[in-house]
Amino acid sequence: MAQDKKDFIDLNQFSKEELLSLLESCHDRKNSKKRNGHATVDDDQVGSGKILATIFEKPSTRTRFSFEVAMLQLGGKTINVSMNDMQLGRGETVQDTAKVLSRYVDLAMLRTFKHSTILDFAMNSTIPVINGLSNQSHPCQVLTDLMTVEEKLNSLDSKIFTWFGPANNMLNSWIHASDVLNFELRICAPEEYQVDDEIIKGSKSNIIKINDVNEASKNSNCIITDTWFSMGEDHEPDKEKILEPYRVDKSKIEKADKDVIFLHCLPAHRGQEVEDDVIDGPRSVVWDEAENRVHAQKAIIDWCLS
């Protein structure tokens, strides 16, 4: 990685102070938008004259649109490409692609299968690189989620978070956030789909593995779930059966704190990992969470360019 550039790869690259400051910047972006009514631009125009490349190896709705809208509102432009439409799809190396794109654009966001593709791109480019989701992590989404929790519950201090469902890229980023910010994270999953001990071996005791679905959400301030089948994973009927008890339904919400909020990064598979009456219910904040992607992307872009 070039020393004079800032890559946004994972939340555990930050200290607690740095992460809280990035969160403050997310709120500032949203608040200044509110003050300006529905103005289409941010006052400081930190993206002015800059171009962001967004490169996708997997589908996306929120990440794609929110980065594009964020960059437009910051005064910059985005070039959006699917990896298959690039020579990458025909075997040109990530390393060579990174060197060439560094001559064209000012920063790049990648959504890939292998996490190592993003790391290779970052190592071989002279521009900031943003992880827009890999099989290993989804830091842009969890930064947004932390912002949403602060917005709804005022602060992250002493909050208890409960994850329902199989371990995946989203959970890994939640583990990173818990490591940095020290909040209690309960991971409620069946043994077969629990997080690997290897992943949490360096974590502090604030990460708790639990498989009792009746206990996991007790007193919880935030309940989180995600798809049971991430992009690229085979739909195994056995897995679906094993996960049935981990579906977020009203009974899990009722056991939690009375002000609990429900988060889902979306897309949701209604009736699978979550019931309609939860995602559409009074404790769900998923639409604000989705909106906040735009504000958080701006904070990330600003951080990368500063």
SS3 letters across 248-306: ECHHHHHHCCCCCEEEECCCCCECCCECHHHHCCCCECHHHHHHHHHHHHHHHHHHHHC
* Residues in a beta bridge with 53: 79, 108
For the bound state, the minimum distance from the C-beta of residue 24 to ligand NVA, rounded and expressed in Å, comes to: 25
For the record, the structure tokens of 76 come out as 């910059």
With residue 95 as reference, give the H or E element that holds it.
helix 94-101
Q: Which of residues 250-279 bind ligand CP (CB under 6 A)?
A: 265-266
* Candidate list 25, 54, 63, 168; residue touching ligand CP; CB under 6 A: 63
Task: Determine the interface stretch with ligand CP among 58-66, 150-158, 181-189, 235-243 (rule: CB under 6 A).
Answer: 58-66
Task: Determine the interface stretch with ligand NVA among 26-34, 162-170, 181-189, 285-293 (rule: CB under 6 A).
Answer: 162-170
* CB half-sphere exposure, 230, CA atoms < 13 A: 20
Residue 138 falls in the annotated catalytic set: yes
Residue 111 falls in the annotated catalytic set: yes
Catalytic residue, chosen from 141, 145, 257, 304, is: 141
Which amino acid belongs to residue 33? K
Compare residues 226 and 257 and give the one whose CB is closer to ligand NVA.
226
Task: Determine the interface stretch with ligand CP among 56-64, 101-109, 159-167, 195-203 (rule: CB under 6 A).
Answer: 56-64
For the record, the structure tokens of 140 come out as 């842009």
For the bound state, the minimum distance from the C-beta of residue 16 to ligand NVA, rounded and expressed in Å, comes to: 25
Closest CA to 95 of 122, 113, 115: 122
Distance from C-alpha of 121 to C-alpha of 97, rounded to nearest angstrom? 8
Residue 141 falls in the annotated catalytic set: yes
Distance from C-alpha of 138 to C-alpha of 92, rounded to nearest angstrom? 25
Residue 64 falls in the annotated catalytic set: no
Interaction between residue 272 and ligand NVA (CB under 6 A): no
> Length of the chain, please?
306
Distance from C-alpha of 82 to C-alpha of 108, rounded to nearest angstrom? 13
Task: Report the partner that residue 61 touches, choosing among ligand CP, ligand NVA, none (CB closer than 5 to 8 A by kind).
Answer: ligand CP
* Candidate list 78, 220, 227, 292; residue touching ligand NVA; CB under 6 A: 227
Q: Are strands 77-82 and 51-56 parallel, antiparallel or unpaired?
A: parallel
Residue 188 falls in the annotated catalytic set: no
For the bound state, the minimum distance from the C-beta of residue 178 to ligand CP, rounded and expressed in Å, comes to: 19
* Candidate list 194, 230, 239, 272; residue touching ligand NVA; CB under 6 A: 230
Using CB under 6 A, list all residues that contact ligand CP: 60-63, 133, 141, 265-266
Report, as residue numbers or ranges, the catalytic residues.
111, 138, 141, 226, 265, 293
